[in-house]
Amino acid sequence: MHPYIYLASQSPRRQELLQQIGVRFELLLAGSDEDPESLESTITNEPALDYVKRVTLAKLQAAQKRLMQRDLKWAPILSADTTVAISMNGQEIILGKPKDHEDAKRILYLLSGKTHQVHTAVALLNQRSVTDLGVGNGREGSGSPPLLLVSSSEVTFKKLDDRLISTYITSEEPMGKAGAYGIQGLAACFIENIQGSFSGIMGLPLFETAQFLQASDVQFDLNTPD
């Protein structure tokens, strides 16, 4: 049984969620020679579900490269990505991380008084997995594709006025977050209803992640050695 995993994410929320269920992890983050933000580039007319899966697998692949290049001891690798999307005039619009305060304001006005979708993809590379770069331990053998799924939820915002949006942006909470908000923070005051996974909206669906970890023989609080 694996006592820990590598986490290919610098999100403090994902780290907190893994700690919540007792998963030990080591961060496997990009080096100074990498541009991790480029992995999140959008493709015109790409559906949000396709986008979030593509980005998550790209992050997983980049992390596996790091493991091999740094000659680290093998352990399963977990990656995830969250995107927010809203349908307007029959078109799906992906709302990523705001570039600045003005962009955050634009995104929050789009979400105001409407229901939007939050998609979080999670992928796990285990010893039975293979990617384009290598297999299992990241070096040799053959196996199956990484475990991958998407947790989709719906979130309904109340109507937000100018003062509320400005005050929220001043808090800096919207920055660095898909959709310009964090459900676990001040934005909880905006949310009239959610349908789906609260942890998935935060950035890591714990039910599905626990299933992946259990299937991959990773130790955590509810999956301990016999």
Residues marked active site are found at 81
* Contacting residues for 114 by C-beta, under 8 A, at least 6 apart: 86, 156, 157
Amino acid at position 20, single letter: Q
* Contacting residues for 172 by C-beta, under 8 A, at least 6 apart: none
Task: Give CA–CA dist 46/94, Å, rounded.
Answer: 9
Structure tokens at 138: 């990241």
CB 220 within 8 A of CB 3: no
Burial class (CB within 10 angstroms; exposed 0-12, middle 13-18, buried 19+) of 3: exposed
213: three-class secondary structure by DSSP: helix
Cα 139–chain centre separation: 26
Sign of CA dihedral 184, 108, 113, 160: positive
